[in-house]
Amino acid sequence: MKISDRTVDFGFEKVPVAEKAERVRGVFESVARKYDVMNDLMSFGVHRLWKRFTLSLTGLKPGQHALDVAGGTGDLALGLLRQVGKHGRVVLSDINPRMLEVGRDRLLDAGHVGNVECLVADAERLPFADDSFDCVTIGFGLRNVTDKAAALKSMYRVLRPGGQLLVLEFSTPLAKGLKPLYDAYSFNILPLLGRMVAEDAASYRYLAESIRMHPDQETLLEMLRSAGFAQARYHNLTGGIVALHRGYKI
C-alpha cells in the first residue's frame, strides 16, 4: 500500500496519514487560549497533581538540559526550569505555533528568559542532535501524534545515555465501575464544557475519542521497549484514567 493510501485514527474517524497533523493543528489552534482553563474544569484541577507527580520523577539536577515535547502552554516546562536552575536549559517544543505562543508568554511572564527556548517542532522528527537532553517529557501529546513509534524513537535519539523519557497520557481506566461513568462524562459533559467555555464542542469531542483510540498501558509499554527504552514501566494514576510511562536510554 502506498503511503498516500494509508489511513490513521483521528478520534473515531479514519483520515489519510497526510491529513492528521493538520487536523490536530486545527483543534489546538481553536482551543489554545482556553486550554488551561478547560484542563482545570475537565479534571477538577487533578491534572496539576498528575503533572506534579511526573516532575517529581525526572531526576533532573541543576545545570542539566531537558526537553518538553508537545509542551503546549508550558506547565511541565515551567516545572523543568525550576529543576535545572539558571545554569540549566529547557526547550519547549510543540507542532502548533499558537499553543507554543501561549507557552512562551507564560514562561516569559514567570521570569524565564536566558535558559529557555521555544521551538516549533514535530515530535516524529525532533530537530536536535543525538544525545542532547538529560530528560524528555511529553504530557498529553503522544495520542495526537500520527506515528507514535517514530516519535518515541525520535525522543530516544535525542536523550543522552542514562537520560529518562516520561510520557504522561490518558489511558484505560482499571477501577471496577469507573469506565461507564468515565464514558458518560467524556462523551456528554466534555463537549458541553467545550461549547460553553471554549466555544468549540467538536474539539473536545475529538479529545474524548482520541483517548479511546490511544494504546492502553501494556501496549504503550511495549512500544517504549521496542523504541529501545530500558527499565520501562508505568504508574497508573486516578484508577488508570491517566498513566505515566517511563524508560531510560542506556
Q: Is residue 1 over pLDDT 50?
A: no
Residue at 233 is within a domain: yes
Residue 18's pLDDT band (boundaries 50, 70, 90)?
confident
Q: Is residue 213 over pLDDT 60?
A: yes
CATH number of the CATH domain containing 243: 3.40.50.150
Residue at 74 is within a domain: yes
Residue written as cell 513509534? 149
Residue at 213 is within a domain: yes
Residue at 80 is within a domain: yes
- In which domain, by residue range, is 98 found? 24-174+206-248
Residue at 182 is within a domain: no
Identify whether the C-beta of residue 246 lies closer than 8 Å to the C-beta of residue 165: yes
Residue at 190 is within a domain: no
Domain count, the chain: 1
Residue 137 pairs with which residues in a beta bridge? Answer: 68, 166
**Residue 48 corresponds to which cell in the numbers above?**
496539576
Encode pLDDT of 61-70 as tens digits.
Answer: 999 999 999 9
CB atoms inside a 10 Å sphere around CB 162: 11
Residue at 87 is within a domain: yes
Residue type present at position 203: S
Encode pLDDT of 122-162 as tens digits.
Answer: 999 999 999 999 999 999 999 999 999 999 999 999 999 99
Encode pLDDT of 159-177 as tens digits.
Answer: 999 999 999 999 999 987 8
pLDDT of residue 199: 85
Residue 234 pairs with which residues in a beta bridge? Answer: 245
Residue at 7 is within a domain: no
pLDDT of residue 5: 66
